Amino acid sequence: MSAAGHGGAGARRARRGSAGAPSVERLLTGIAQLVTPAGPGAKRGAQQSELHVLEDAVIAVQDAKISWLGPASAWRGTAIEEVDLGGRAVVPGLVDPHTHLLWAGERYDDLEDRLAGVPYQRILARGGGIRSTMRATAAAGRDELLRASRRRLSDLVASGATTVEVKSGYGGSVEAELEALEAIAELGASSPVRIVATLLVHVPDPEERATRLREVRELLIPEAAARGLASRLDVFVEREAFSVAEAEQLLLAGREHGLDLTLHADQFNAIGGVELAVRLRARSVDHLEVSGVEQIDTLAQGDTVATLLPGVSLELGLPPAPGRALIDAGVPVALASDLNPGSSPLYSTALAMALSLRLNRLRPAEALVAGTVNAAAALGLDDVGWLGVDARADLMVLPEADWRALVHGMGGPGPVEVYAGGVRVDRDAGAETPRRS
Ligand SMILES: [Zn+2]
């Protein structure tokens, strides 16, 4: 761990930008400990635990980006506004690269049944499970759907997330999926944090499987891409969902239309989804609960980020994904909440990181990299997930001076403060409320 390079590079740039002392919009001071991965790009192997730590730091913000960062004693500029963070630790805003937070209807009855030992097949047969979410989402008006989804988004933001991926996938039909993506766009337009929209091909229609697949390839994917409603395509590869051959056809169509690729794979059965992800150079492959030595070796030879979802393991009582083995093999690992109404009702990106220590055997520094810069890499983003000159000024302020509070506590300690584009995000309003010093 070292602070070398950070203040130095920033200082040079700021001095170049303005002869003499630079003037910036906002200066964040009172940072007892600034902790960040070194810079953009997926980190693997030993790099997954490398953090730069700077004591008594300041961050200068201009045009929503970091224009200077270094020791308070080295700052020579002026700022229109100064914000004192009170001697606490600052880390990059968290990146949550896998959520299904756009839904209507809750599945509390499913939970009661599951706890009483009712098999999932019987829950499905009585109209519960994912089909009930699809029905309730279809029946909800846009306003109701957005109201519920905004509340969930603000919970993730309150836990430190400043970039959140949101998937469609509860629609089913071409029209319903496009409507879901439109709703995600609306969510993003009204949110102070960045939303990344993903088109998810989730559950096959048992009656008209071939027709539906053709519609997805020939209508849904081209339309979603052409209208800029999604930047990524996700396919659920599983015995009960799509085969490797079906997924490959869909993903190739997505690639043809300029979408980044990602997969749900190896959740219940390792049927070749990981191998497909690496072969197609997908940005990420998510779940991996049942991945074994072969899949880990395959991932180690590729560039695909392995995104782990510890909330699912906890909720379903399944063996967790082999996080320790993946990192030891040199696979870049990311973490996500997988917030959804069934298998992962986890309303905290930070808690996903805390759980990864217990369930996936990550170490604190590895979990921070997994929840920031590696998660950003899974989304193809290079301006978030780290703190340095030219990165977006997205950061979280922890309640104490040692950043490890973030992953030691489970569901706290709180509250945290979150800054997006250098502006403090007010949790309840979901609006920007800059704090004057
Ligand atoms: Zn998922």
Domain presence at residue 431: no
Q: What's the CA-to-centroid distance between 243 and ligand 1, angstroms?
A: 17
Q: Say what the pLDDT of residue 431 is.
A: 38
Confidence of residue 2 (pLDDT cuts 50, 70, 90): very low
Q: Is 394 in the same domain as 249?
A: no
Q: Is 288 in the same domain as 407?
A: no
- Structural domain including 401 reads 6-91+386-424
pLDDT in tens, 15-24: 333 445 789 9
Domain presence at residue 433: no
Q: What's the CA-to-centroid distance between 327 and ligand 1, angstroms?
A: 21
Average pLDDT over residues 320-325: 98
- Does 435 score more than 60 pLDDT? no
The CATH number for 57's domain is: 2.30.40.10
Q: Say what the pLDDT of residue 203 is.
A: 84
Q: Say what the pLDDT of residue 3 is.
A: 37
pLDDT in tens, 64-96: 999 999 999 999 999 999 999 999 999 999 999
Q: What's the CA-to-centroid distance between 338 and ligand 1, angstroms?
A: 5
Q: Say what the pLDDT of residue 428 is.
A: 60
Q: What's the CA-to-centroid distance between 27 and ligand 1, angstroms?
A: 38
Considering only CA atoms, which of 291, 358, 353 is closest in space to residue 321?
A: 291
Q: Which of 346, 362, 378 is the last residue of a domain?
A: 378
Q: Is 85 in the same domain as 119?
A: no
The CATH number for 148's domain is: 3.20.20.140
Q: Is 205 in the same domain as 301?
A: yes
Q: Is 164 in the same domain as 262?
A: yes
Q: What's the CA-to-centroid distance between 198 and ligand 1, angstroms?
A: 11
Domain presence at residue 164: yes
Domain presence at residue 430: no
Q: What's the CA-to-centroid distance between 195 and ligand 1, angstroms?
A: 16
Q: Say what the pLDDT of residue 121 is.
A: 85
Domain presence at residue 32: yes
Residue 25 tokens, joined: 């919009």
Domain presence at residue 437: no
Q: Say what the pLDDT of residue 416 is.
A: 87
Q: Is 261 in the same domain as 226?
A: yes
pLDDT in tens, 235-257: 999 998 999 999 999 999 999 99
Residues bordering ligand 1, an ion, CB closer than 5 Å: 338
Sign of CA dihedral 379, 315, 292, 170: negative
Q: What's the CA-to-centroid distance between 277 and ligand 1, angstroms?
A: 15
Q: What's the CA-to-centroid distance between 24 and ligand 1, angstroms?
A: 41
The stretches of 309-402 forming alpha helices (DSSP H) are: 310-316, 323-328, 349-359, 364-371, 373-378
Q: Say what the pLDDT of residue 20 is.
A: 58
Share of the chain above pLDDT 90, in %: 84
- Does 13 score more than 60 pLDDT? no
pLDDT in tens, 127-163: 899 989 999 999 999 999 999 999 999 999 999 999 9
Which of the residue ranges 121-125, 309-313, 365-369, 395-399 would you say has the lowest mean pLDDT? 121-125
C-alpha span between 355 and 291 (Å, rounded): 19
Q: Is 85 in the same domain as 215?
A: no
Count of the separate structural domains present in the chain: 2
Domain presence at residue 249: yes
Share of the chain above pLDDT 70, in %: 93
Q: What's the CA-to-centroid distance between 203 and ligand 1, angstroms?
A: 12
Q: Is 83 in the same domain as 166?
A: no
Q: What's the CA-to-centroid distance between 316 and ligand 1, angstroms?
A: 13
C-alpha span between 90 and 6 (Å, rounded): 15
Q: Is 280 in the same domain as 374?
A: yes
Q: What's the CA-to-centroid distance between 60 and ligand 1, angstroms?
A: 37
Average pLDDT over residues 289-304: 98
Q: What's the CA-to-centroid distance between 339 and ligand 1, angstroms?
A: 8
Q: Is 331 in the same domain as 200?
A: yes
Considering only CA atoms, which of 417, 383, 378, 386 is closest in space to residue 399?
A: 417
- Cis ω on the peptide bond leading into residue 413 (within 30° of 0)? yes
Average pLDDT over residues 166-185: 95
Q: Is 306 in the same domain as 414?
A: no
Q: C-alpha dihedral over 187, 189, 190, 196, to 10 degrees?
A: 50
Domain presence at residue 130: yes
Q: What is the mean pLDDT of the chain?
A: 92
Q: Is 166 in the same domain as 31?
A: no
Which of the residue ranges 2-6, 219-223, 383-387 would you say has the lowest mean pLDDT? 2-6
Average pLDDT over residues 156-179: 95
Q: Say what the pLDDT of residue 107 is.
A: 93
Give whole-number Cα distances, 161 to 78, 212, 263, 314, 327, in Å: 29, 35, 22, 21, 23
Q: What's the CA-to-centroid distance between 100 and ligand 1, angstroms?
A: 6
pLDDT in tens, 19-62: 457 899 999 999 999 999 999 999 999 999 999 999 999 999 99
